[in-house]
Every structure is written in C-alpha cells, then in structure tokens.
Amino acid sequence: MNAHVSGRRWVAADGIHIDVRGLSPPDPLVAILELVGSIGDATPVIVHHERDPRMLYPELAEIGWTAERITGEPGEIRLKLERAT
C-alpha cells in the first residue's frame, strides 16, 4: 500500500491548486510532492499553506521544480510551483 495524503485539490485557470492547511508534518510535504510527481507537462501547481514549507525546497530542487511566493489570503502562504526552465 502506498502512502496517500490528500489535501484538497482543484483545477483553475492558473494551474492545479492544493490546500494543505491543517495537515500535520510531513503530510503537506508528501501531498505536494505526490501532486507534483503526477504532473507530466508544464502545468503549474498552486499551494495554499499555513506556514513556510522549508523542507519542501530541497525536495523540489531535487526534481527540478522551483517555488515562487505569490499573493494569498491574510495568514496564508501561497506558492506557485513550476518546472525549472
């Protein structure tokens, strides 16, 4: 059985969104990497987080993705993840 950590997901014009707020570590990390790993094209991933996911960046770098902070709701950390070009 594989680990499956969901997080709420939806698709919008700017990419695939995932909301990992309320999950305990390391579930947000796992949920985001599961989603990123399932994307075969250049579709960006928008992450809705409640804190700065420091542990995520080395993992993203390892698979050639970048993180960029974008404007989110108050108290939210919102990230745009994209394949490095």
- Strand ranges of the sheet holding 15-19, from the earlier edge strand across to the other edge: 8-12, 15-19, 45-49, 77-83, 65-70
In the complex, the smallest distance separating the C-beta of residue 55 from another protein, rounded to whole angstroms, is 6
In the complex, the smallest distance separating the C-beta of residue 17 from another protein, rounded to whole angstroms, is 17
In the complex, the smallest distance separating the C-beta of residue 11 from another protein, rounded to whole angstroms, is 21
Judged by the rule CB under 8 A, the positions of this chain that interact with another protein are 1-5, 23-27, 29-30, 33-34, 37, 51-52, 54-55, 57-59, 61-62, 64, 66-71, 79, 84-85
Q: How far apart are the first and last CA of the chain?
A: 34
Helices (H), the chain: 27-38, 56-62
